[in-house]
Structure 1
Amino acid sequence: MDDERSVRRVGLGMMLLFWLLFIAVGAWWFHGFLAAQRNPNAHLVDAVEGGDAPITLERSHSGHFMATGRINGEPVEFLLDTGATYVAVPATLAERLGLEASGSAWFNTANGRVRGELTTLDEVSLGGFSASDVRGSISPGMEGDVALMGMSFLNRFDIEIRNSRMVLRPAESP
């Protein structure tokens, strides 16, 4: 009788362990699935510099072009914004990256006129392309850790948007 009870307990324990592992693996997979939906271009952060191959970005599930690149060597998630003049960095992210303000300015945004700080980013990179001394802004009104990749970096590319893809090709020098 005791042997039967201990076998039953071991069986229940194994079944419980199986279901816990099954749920944990499912949650891990689903988290990765959601992350890929939010930023389908996260792999660009590991791209090797050099070459003239175009960068092809997939539109995120929310309809934006998101990509992971680097500012001063640190990984940063970007929302590509051809309507932004500068690479705009939220104040909390700027603090974490150690960015220093070089002056203040007023900016016209979708949310109205706001005051922010100007800065120079030593290096910005995306998909194997990098640029030095990129003009940026530190925007105290922006929340989160997503920076706007504006034209101070994107002006180095010919930009083509078709359907759900954005293709960035290095601009030819005049």
Structure 2
Amino acid sequence: MLVLAWIAGLALAANWFAGLEERQRNPNQQPDSVRTDSVIEVRLDSNRQGHYLVGGQINGTDVTFLLDTGATFVAIPAEVADGLGLRRGRPVMVSTANGLAESYSTQIDSLALGDIRLQDVAAGIVPGMTGDEILLGMSALRQLDFSQQGGQLILRQNRQ
């Protein structure tokens, strides 16, 4: 019985530390939104590496975004795109940090970051991209106002 208690305790501790590690990697798993009459605002904390990761949704499915103001469009790993049911459009060559890569154009019907909602966002499906993080590039970010202050990135969407 004591051995089972130790095993259960170790399993709980491992689970807790895994959750802690994930919260440090992505401190914005469920971002808070502030609404006024004219603006929806989402504040993101940077992780230890200075990156801004945030939990969001594409077409109603939970995903993790890595904000990248240097990316022209939203870049989605092919495996993730397949899971989201996104259709591959015309092939396009894109320039990445690792050189030229093949990509396929696609359209995201809806993209959500907290209470911020974007519609009809141009994106690319990138077969050579690994991992499950989606690069949130300028095809989405140009629809928002954003600024950086004290380790936070502030995203604002004007309400119509």
Contact in 2 for aligned 1:49/1:127 (Cα 8 Å): no
Given the alignment of the two structures, is residue 25 of structure 1 paired with residue 12 of structure 2, yes or no? yes
Report the counterpart of residue 6 of structure 1 in structure 2: none
Q: Within 2, Cα distance between the matches of 1:153 and 1:137?
A: 12
Q: CA deviation at 1:62?
A: 2.5
Given the alignment of the two structures, is residue 160 of structure 1 paired with residue 147 of structure 2, yes or no? yes
Q: Within 2, Cα distance between the matches of 1:163 and 1:86?
A: 26
Report the counterpart of residue 68 of structure 1 in structure 2: 55
Higher gyration radius (CA):
1
Given the alignment of the two structures, is residue 88 of structure 1 paired with residue 75 of structure 2, yes or no? yes
Secondary structure class of the residue paired with 1:26: helix
Q: CA deviation at 1:135?
A: 0.2
Contact in 1 for aligned 2:26/2:47 (Cα 8 Å): yes
Q: Within 2, Cα distance between the matches of 1:171 and 1:129?
A: 9
1:140-168 Cα offsets, whole Å, 9 max, x none, are 11011111001111112211112321111
2:45 to 55, 58, 65: 58
**Structure 2 unaligned regions, length at least 5:** none
Give % identity.
Answer: 38
Structure with a larger share of its residues in helix: 1
Q: Within 2, Cα distance between the matches of 1:75 and 1:49?
A: 20
Report how many residues are paired: 158
Q: What CA RMSD, in Å, does the superposition of the two structures yield over aligned residues?
A: 2.1
Report the counterpart of residue 3 of structure 1 in structure 2: none
Decide which moves more: 93-102 or 21-30. Answer: 21-30
Secondary structure class of the residue paired with 1:54: strand
**Structure 1 unaligned regions, length at least 5:** 1-12
User: TM-score by structure 2 length?
Assistant: 0.90
User: TM-score by structure 1 length?
Assistant: 0.83
Q: Equivalences for 1:1-174 in 2 at 5 Å? A: 13=1, 15-44=2-31, 52-171=39-158
Contact in 2 for aligned 1:87/1:147 (Cα 8 Å): yes
